[in-house]
Amino acid sequence: MIYLDNAATTALSETAGKAMEPYFSDLYGNPSSSYRFGQEAKRAIEAGRQALASFLHVSPREIYFTGGGTESDNWALLSLLGWGEKSPKHLLTSTIEHPAILRTASFLESLGVNVSRIPVDAKGFLDLEALENALKQSENTTCLVSVMAANNEIGTLQNLQEIGSLAHRYSALFHTDAVQAFGQIPIAVEEMGIDLLSASSHKIHGPKGVGLLYIRKDLKLPALLHGGAQERGLRAGTENVPGIVGFAAAAREAFSTMEERGRKKLALRNLFFKRLLEEVPGVEISGVNPLEKREADFPAENTYSSLLQERLPGNVHVCIPGIEGQSLLMLLDQKGICASSGSACASGSLDPSHVLLAIGKSHEVAFSGLRLSLEESLTEEELEYTVEAIKEAVEKSR
C-alpha cells in the first residue's frame, strides 16, 4: 500500500502508542480522584498540557483538551453566543474553511448571528481588502474572525499575521483552525495575534479523538460542556488520559523534527508536481504553484518558511479536467494507492469541492480534484509508481 492521504489521518507513531499503553491498562485511575493513583493520571494530563503549551510558546493555562479538531472549532465559534450579551454578533470567515467551521457558521446564522464569508483568490489566499471592509461594517458588534492556517484540500497557507492584526485593529477576536498546520509549519501564536487556535492529534501521528483549543488567557469563554470541573470547568467530562498522553508524545516528535521532515516533504511535493505535469496531459495545479519560483528566487538564507512557498509541505493537489475524481480514486485504490479527492468529510457526497469552486474552478472541474498528502518516508520509486498509476488511470477514464 502507498498511503498518500496523510491530510485525512496519519498512522499512530510507535512512540505515541507506547506512551499511551500504561494508561489503557495499569494506570486507569480517574484524574479527578484525590488519592495518589488518580493523581498519577492527573499528572500525565498536566505534563501533556505543559508540553503542548511549550510547542506553541504559550502558557499551559491556555491549553484546553477537546475531543478533536471539530470540537475545538465548534467551541471557538459557538463561544460567540456567550460574549457581549447584548450587542449584535458577527462572524467573519472564509469560503474555503473545513465543514467543522462552515457548518457551525450556518448553525450560528440560524440563531441570528450575522455571518460574512470572505472570498479567496485563485490561489486560495483570503481577500484581505474584503476582510477589512467587512470588519469596518461590523464595528459596534461582537465580532470573531475565523480563518484557517492551512487549507486541507489545496494546502494554501494564509497570512495569519496580517489577518490577526486586521482583526485586532477593528476590535475583533481571531480564531485559526490550525488542524492541518499544527506541527507542520511554524506558528507564532502571540506575534500573529491569534486569540483562539484549534489543533488535532491524529493529523500528526497521534491518536484519533483528541485535540486542543488554545484560549488566550484573558478571554472568558463560555463552557462548552457542563458538568464536572475538568478543563477549568469549561469542558466537563472525565479526560481522555491515554489520548492526551499520546497527543503530547506525537507533538513532541512532530515539533522536534518539523523542519527536517518538512524539507524532505516539500522536495517530494515539488517533484510530484513536476512529474505529474510532465506525464499526465491536462493536469492543472490547484492553488499555489510551487514550481513558478525556483529556490534561487527565494531569500539566500533558504529558511524553511521561505521554501514552503505558502503551501503545506506535503500537499499535492491537481485537477484533471474531464476526469471524475471519484472514479480516478477507485482505479488508484486497485493499484494499492490511497489518495483523496479533497476532504474525507466530504467524500461520498455528490457535491463538488467547495474549495475548488471558491478558487474559481468550474463546476465540472471541481469534481476532478486529486489530493495526495505525503509523508517524508515516501520513496522516489513509490512516487514514480504513483505518477505512472495516475497516468494509466487517466488514460483508462478518457
Instruction: State the nearest-atom distance from the C-beta of 71 to ligand PLP, in Å.
Output: 7
**Under rule CB under 6 A, residue 183 binds ligand PLP:** no
Site for ligand PLP in 223-282 (CB under 6 A): none
Closer residue to ligand PLP, CB minimum distance, 100 or 135? 100
Instruction: State the nearest-atom distance from the C-beta of 200 to ligand PLP, in Å.
Output: 3
Instruction: State the nearest-atom distance from the C-beta of 5 to ligand PLP, in Å.
Output: 10
Max Cα–Cα distance, the chain, nearest Å = 67
Separation between Cα atoms, residue 272 and residue 277, nearest integer Å = 9
Please give the residue whose beta carbon sits closest to ligand PLP in the complex: 69
Exposure class string for 20-37: b at 16+ Cβ within 10 A, else e: bebbeeebebebeeeeee
**Under rule CB under 6 A, residue 5 binds ligand PLP:** no
Is residue 368 within 8 A of residue 322, CB to CB? The reply is: yes
For the window 103-142, what string marks contact with ligand PLP as x by the rule CB under 6 A? Answer: ----------------------------------------
Catalytic site residue 338?
no
CA atoms within 13 A on the CB side of 303: 6
Binding segment toward ligand PLP, per CB under 6 A, in 22-30, 175-183, 264-272, 296-304: 175-183
Q: Which one of residues 177, 195, 239, 253 is an interface residue with ligand PLP (CB under 6 A)? A: 177
Instruction: State the nearest-atom distance from the C-beta of 208 to ligand PLP, in Å.
Output: 7
Catalytic position from the list 143, 319, 338, 345: 345
Binding segment toward ligand PLP, per CB under 6 A, in 156-164, 172-180, 316-324, 360-368: 172-180
Site for ligand PLP in 209-228 (CB under 6 A): 211
For the window 49-88, what string marks contact with ligand PLP as x by the rule CB under 6 A? Answer: -------------------xxx--x---------------
For the window 338-377, what string marks contact with ligand PLP as x by the rule CB under 6 A? Answer: -----x----------------------------------
Closer residue to ligand PLP, CB minimum distance, 22 or 99? 99
Closer residue to ligand PLP, CB minimum distance, 7 or 307? 7
**Under rule CB under 6 A, residue 152 binds ligand PLP:** yes
Is residue 166 within 8 A of residue 126, CB to CB? The reply is: no
**Under rule CB under 6 A, residue 98 binds ligand PLP:** yes
Closer residue to ligand PLP, CB minimum distance, 265 or 275? 265
CB neighbours (10 Å) of residue 107? 14
Exposure class string for 329-356: b at 16+ Cβ within 10 A, else e: bebbeeeebbbbbbbeebeeeeebbbbb
Closer residue to ligand PLP, CB minimum distance, 100 or 134? 100
Closer residue to ligand PLP, CB minimum distance, 92 or 280? 92
Closer residue to ligand PLP, CB minimum distance, 175 or 361? 175
Instruction: State the nearest-atom distance from the C-beta of 234 to ligand PLP, in Å.
Output: 18
Which residues is 216 bridged to in the sheet? Answer: none
Q: Which residues are catalytic?
A: 345
Residues forming the site for ligand PLP (CB under 6 A) = 68-70, 73, 98, 100, 148, 152, 177, 179-180, 200, 202, 211, 343
